[in-house]
């Protein structure tokens, strides 16, 4: 069975959604960089090696622009424990997400 491509109007909407998501992601990264010292999100990264800390920051940048950032961060925390990934300390990463959610009051 051949899947038809979506109508042209939907293709435009999909492209707009990708652009908007990229803009939101850029905004989340900017806000973390700007306000990071104020909210001390680095406390969530204590005890993680550089590799795992980078993975947590990348995950937070994505989750903070989700429709429900708190739910997204908690889901990512569970996934860190339940799925096989390349992080070195899954328990530490899972905890870091939950600490970050608490710091951001999500």
pLDDT for 15: 54
Altogether, the residues listed in the chain come to a count of 106
For the chain, the domains span 8-103
Tell me the per-residue pLDDT of 47-74, one tens digit each, with 9 for 90 and over.
Answer: 888 889 888 888 988 898 888 999 999 9
Evaluated on CA atoms 57, 58, 64, 68, the torsion sign reads negative
Tell me the per-residue pLDDT of 3-61, one tens digit each, with 9 for 90 and over.
Answer: 444 444 444 444 555 566 666 667 666 766 665 555 555 567 888 888 898 888 889 88
| Residue whose entry in the numeric block shows the structure tokens 């800390």 | 53
């Amino acid at each position: 069975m051949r899947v038809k491509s979506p109508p042209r109007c939907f293709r435009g909407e999909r492209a707009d959604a990708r652009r908007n998501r990229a803009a939101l992601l850029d905004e989340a990264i900017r806000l973390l960089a700007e306000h990071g010292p104020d909210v001390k999100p680095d406390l969530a990264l204590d005890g993680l090696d550089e590799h795992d800390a980078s993975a947590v920051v990348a995950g937070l940048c994505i989750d903070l622009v989700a429709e429900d950032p708190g739910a997204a961060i908690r889901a990512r925390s569970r996934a860190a424990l339940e799925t096989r990934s390349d992080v070195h300390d899954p328990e530490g990463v899972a905890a870091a997400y939950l600490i970050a959610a608490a710091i951001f009051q999500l």
